[in-house]
Amino acid sequence: MTTTANARGERGAIPRVEGAPLLQLENLAMYFKTSGDGVLARGTKWVQAVDGVDLTVNAGETIGLVGESGCGKSTTARLITRLLEPTRGSIKYQGHDIAHMSERRLRPYRREIQLIFQDPYSSLNPRHTVGTIVGTALRTHGMVDKNRELPRVQELLEMVGLNPEHYNRYPHEFSGGQRQRIGIARALATQPKIIVADEPVSALDVSIQAQVMNLLENLRKELGIAFVFIAHDLGVVRHFCDRVAVMYLGRVVEEGPRDALYQKPQHPYTQALLSAVPDIAVVRGVPPKNRIRLVGDVPSPVDPPSGCRFRTRCWKAEDICAEVVPPLDEKAPAQRVACHFAEPPTESIVAEVPS
């Protein structure tokens, strides 16, 4: 590790603006253009995939992003890694706004912000050996000298629990869990300060999922990398993250420290989401909790409801909810909630495990 740390030092890490957090999203929005239905449809419509997200990630911190399909969590991941250019808002990395930076100027930032994909089958080029896949990341960012490339690749493979002798194998020779490890090795190759992991374990079997999660956790502890961890499995997120942000229809509705969010969620949507998770603890005699039944479907992001976007399915909704967008305000220490009627649940949402 030390040799390459020097190599990076020579190329210059990105200087940090005094007092700036590692990553800060401010009022971030991404609208996608879509044409209307049919021949007679006029005008362009905009899918408001992400609409006003504020989020801060400090160095070494793991923040979980949860929500259901279409809530904008994957779009947020692609904005942070600048695979997309936002419609508005800023993405500040160590104080530098990278939201509209040119590809050339972005390059050093790409080195420090890495992405791990959900599908280990489609995110690796089947025609390249593992050595080439990981080596390309090293070469692109000039991480090591040419003659040091292979040893470094092997070092990385070993770090993620793969046999370093397998550098000349192709992705199809590995199982799903091993392929995800290759993806992780590729992300680690550039020695990032932050990794955005978009559903990194969702495609894996339960026992393999636990292996990969343990690997990610060890790497995080050893290397002090910050994570933006996106998953729909609330148990997985709880296990891995210090803080959790809940998204609904393009906005963050609640954000806070892990325990506060899971034990005292204040936003009705967070409460409904947590209450819907099937809990295996019921077989160990933990009394089952009531499940909140949400009515209807998530509205279309093309034409989202005015005011609070959750109001159409919310049991607390009043006139104000349609008129005023609830700000993401601090309602408890470090816990921010975007709801006019935020309050902790009257009874426990998640079944308590008797200890």
User: Looking at 29, 124, 188, 317, which residue binds other proteins (CB under 8 A)?
Assistant: 317
Residue 334 touching other proteins (CB under 8 A) = no
- To 10 degrees, the CA torsion angle through 215, 247, 300, 279? 70
Smallest gap from residue 253 Cβ to other proteins (A): 14
Distance CA 6, CA 228 (A): 26
Residue 336, both tokens: 């921010």
Contacts of other proteins in 74-93 (CB under 8 A): none
Closest to other proteins by CB, 13 vs 276, is 276
Residue 289 contacts other proteins per CB under 8 A: yes
**Per CB under 8 A, which of residues 84..143 are in contact with other proteins?**
none
Nearer to other proteins, 193 or 289 (CB): 289
CB nearer other proteins, residue 40 or residue 206 = 206
User: Minimum CB separation from other proteins for residue 105, in Å?
Assistant: 38
For CA atoms 117, 120, 126, 129, the dihedral sign is positive
The C-alpha atoms of residue 320 and residue 299 are separated, in whole angstroms, by: 19
Main-chain phi, psi angles of 97, to 5 degrees: -80, 115
Distance between CA atoms of residues 90 and 71, nearest Å:
19
Say how far apart CA 170 and CA 279 lie, in whole Å: 39
Contact segment (CB under 8 A) with other proteins among 47-55, 56-64, 122-130, 173-181 equals 173-181
List the one residue from 2, 69, 102, 147 that touches other proteins (CB under 8 A): 69
Please identify which residue in 262, 309, 328, 331 interacts with other proteins, judged by CB under 8 A. Answer: 262
Question: Is residue 238 close enough to count as binding other proteins by CB under 8 A?
Answer: yes
How far is residue 14's CA from residue 193's CA, in Å, rounded to a whole number?
11
Q: Under the criterion CB under 8 A, does residue 316 sit at the interface with other proteins? A: yes
Binding segment toward other proteins, per CB under 8 A, in 11-19, 83-91, 282-290, 332-340: 282-290
Minimum distance of other proteins from residue 61's CB (angstroms):
16
Strands across the sheet containing 329-332: 113-116, 194-198, 226-230, 62-66, 243-248, 251-257, 335-337, 329-332
Q: Round to whole Å and give the CA distance between 322 and 216.
A: 42
Query: Which residue lies nearer to other proteins by CB, 106 or 325?
Result: 325
Told to check if 277 binds other proteins by CB under 8 A, we report yes
Closest of 117, 108, 218 to residue 161, by C-alpha: 218
What's the sign of the alpha-carbon dihedral 296, 302, 305, 310?
positive
175 in contact with other proteins (CB under 8 A): yes
Q: How far is CA 343 from CA 64, 307, 352, in A?
A: 22, 19, 20
How many residues lie near other proteins (CB under 8 A)? 65
Q: Does 295 bind other proteins (CB under 8 A)?
A: yes
Site for other proteins in 186-215 (CB under 8 A): 205-211, 213-214
Residues binding other proteins (CB under 8 A):
68-69, 175-178, 205-211, 213-214, 217, 232, 234-236, 238-239, 262-263, 268, 271-285, 288-298, 311-312, 315-319, 321-322, 350-353, 355
